[in-house]
Structure 1
Amino acid sequence: MSNLTIERLTVGYGDGAPVLDGLSLDVPDGAVLALLGANGAGKTTLLRALTGLVPARAGRVTIGGADLTGLRTEERVRRGLSLVPEGRSVVVELTVDENLRLGALWRHRGPARRTAVAEMYELFEPLARRRDAVGHTLSGGERQMLALARALVSRPDVLLLDEPSLGLAPLVVAQLLGVLRDTAARTGLTVLLAEQNVTGALSVADRGVVLSLGEVVADRPAAELAADPALRHAYLGF
């Protein structure tokens, strides 16, 4: 069981007003949930709070019933949570292979690590061809592919992604989102996908949740959300 449950989560910065105030969500096993909303809606704050990078003022976060609330980020990773932050997070001084082995470090040892890395090369063939290339020599699409592979190589139960399509060509975006959808369907991976690319996100998601000023204003099946022109115009800008 790898469902992600968020109960009455309240998060803010310093002494300011909360960015998220009592937010609750449930993402079932193997589901892809698109987290949508304008800049400032609270999407990135939610992902950072789930990983422990921003402390919660109140609320509870569980994966498969196991309470992660109060745990450090490293421990949350060990418990099966993985984040791909905005900005193609790879270690540019390391090779592709070194990045992948580093990503597997938290949850695998010895032969299991080698197997996990080999699986990523099967899943992302361009990375296999560039396994000895240093990170800073990769294209934007290759870096985002590596960032996603680094997250998947640990075989997480729940994967969080923050704007993975930002600045990428449409063809690359389609490939990455397709891998994400197929992986979730094949392995039961639970995915929370924060995206400005509404059309792309809803095309691979089971469900869409729209945030506005830190509150959930819509929670519907992805196809139904995409077909609602009033909601799209009001909150999603298309």
Structure 2
Amino acid sequence: MTAVLEVEALHAGYGPVPVLRDVAFTVPAGTVAAVLGANGAGKTTLLRTLSGLLRPTGGRIRYAGEDLRGVRVEHLVRRGLAHVPEGRGVVTELTVAENLRLGGLWRRDRADARRARDEVYEIFPALARRRDHLGHQLSGGERQMLALGRALIARPRLLLLDEPSLGLAPTVAAQIMALLRRLRDEQGLTVLLVEQNVRTALSVADQGIVMSLGRVVTAAPAARLRDDDRLRHAYLGF
């Protein structure tokens, strides 16, 4: 299976403070990979580095066979890499419809951008009903739907998703996870998912990447991680 994302000996941090140390893993096309670990393990820093928000201090990131060193964030988006950060990232002063339009501003195929917006409304009927509401008028679950929908309008090949279920009701979180499964199965979307709820993450993921103190402890099929009592107790908390 072709790898969409290949990370080799990646190092990154903030100023003189190192966070990621010699991180390496691959994510095959059309799969969901869950990045797991305790708070402070480096999961969010990893996504910020992969999406170009944080410059690595060493190592290599290859996306769809291309080296991403020196590639600007807006160019990554045009190449099909989308990042939904923790905290939703919705522009609260804009309406739902205006937030969604932001996701397709750079796209040359305006007709397909409109089709993509219609698809988001079909996926998330709550957004269709509230398309004229401002971002600050939405619930936490609706904001998460909006942030994810805006990313999907770009027709990404690789989606980086940071803590999508944080603060959400269990039913809404389950809806988000079911959507990721569907997008993987029906559209071949590749997802790198950071999720604090380990059980939820492993229920949707094809593989798990376990991190501790900025390093990858293991990368293995999700089913194997669920069955490995030693690893679960040591690093995953259940």
TM-score, with structure 2 as normaliser? 0.96
Q: CA contact under 8 A between 1:31 and 1:188: conserved in structure 2? A: yes
Cα offset, 1:228, TM superposition: 1.6
Task: Note the 1:75-114 alignment, pairs <5 A.
Answer: 75-114=75-114
Distance of aligned partners of 1:159 and 1:151 in 2 relative to their CA distance in 1, 3 Å threshold: same
Take 1:186 and 1:69, find their aligned partners in 2: how far apart are those partners? 31
1:173 aligned to 2:173?
A: yes
Matched, 1:147 2:147: yes
Asked if the contact 2:25–2:219 (Cα under 8 Å) also holds between the matched residues in 1, the reply is no
**Which residue in the other structure is 1:58 paired with?**
58
Deviating more after overlay: 54-63 vs 189-198: 54-63
**Cα displacement (A) at 1:108:** 4.4
CA distance in 1, matches of 2:93, 2:109: 23
CA distance in 2, matches of 1:54, 1:93: 27
User: CA–CA distance in 2 between the matches of 1:157 and 1:136?
Assistant: 29
Shift of 1:217: 0.8
Identity of aligned residues (%): 62
Query: Per-residue deviation at 1:118?
Result: 0.8
Residue 118 of structure 2 aligns with an amino acid whose one-letter code is A
Describe how 1:117-132 pairs up with structure 2 within 5 A: 117-132=117-132
- Which stretch shifts more, 187-196 or 57-66? 57-66
Give the count of matched residue pairs: 237
Q: CA deviation at 1:149?
A: 0.6
Q: Distance in 2 between matches of 1:28 and 1:190?
A: 8
For 2:13, give the aligned amino acid: G
SS state of the match for residue 61, structure 2?
strand
**2:222 is matched by which residue type in structure 1?**
A
Correspondence for 1:164? 164
The CA distance in 2 between the partners of 1:95 and 1:75, in whole Å, is 26
Cα offset, 1:130, TM superposition: 1.2
The whole-number CA distance in structure 2 between the counterparts of 1:59 and 1:185 is: 31
Q: Please say if residues 202 and 226 of structure 2, whose CA atoms lie closer than 8 Å, have aligned partners that are also in contact.
A: yes
1:73 corresponds to: 73
Contact 1:159 1:191 in 2 (8 A): yes
Q: What SS does structure 2 have at the residue aligned with 1:4?
A: strand
**Residue equivalent to 2:11:** 10
Letter aligned with residue 7 of structure 1: E
- 1:219 and 1:2 map into 2 onto residues whose CA distance is 14
Question: Aligned equivalents of 2:228 and 2:118: distance in 1?
Answer: 42
Deviation at 1:110, TM superposition (A): 2.1
Gaps of 5+ in 1: none
In the TM superposition, residue 88 of structure 1 has moved relative to its aligned partner by 1.3
Pairs within 5 Å for 1:25-36? 25-36=25-36
User: How much does 1:27 deviate?
Assistant: 0.3
Q: Does 1:213 align with 2:213?
A: yes
- Whichever residue aligns with residue 10 of structure 1, its letter is H
Contact 1:52–1:71, Cα closer than 8 Å, also in 2: yes
Q: Which runs of 4+ in 1 moved over 6 A?
A: none
2:158 is equivalent to residue 187 of structure 1: no
Which amino acid in the other structure matches residue 155 of structure 1? R
CA RMSD, 1 decimal: 1.2
Q: Structure 1 residues 129, 108: closer, same or farther in 2, change over 3 A?
A: farther
Q: Counterpart of 1:200?
A: 200
TM-score by length of 1: 0.96
Distance 1:185 1:2 in 2: 17
What is the CA distance between 1:223 and its match in structure 2?
1.4
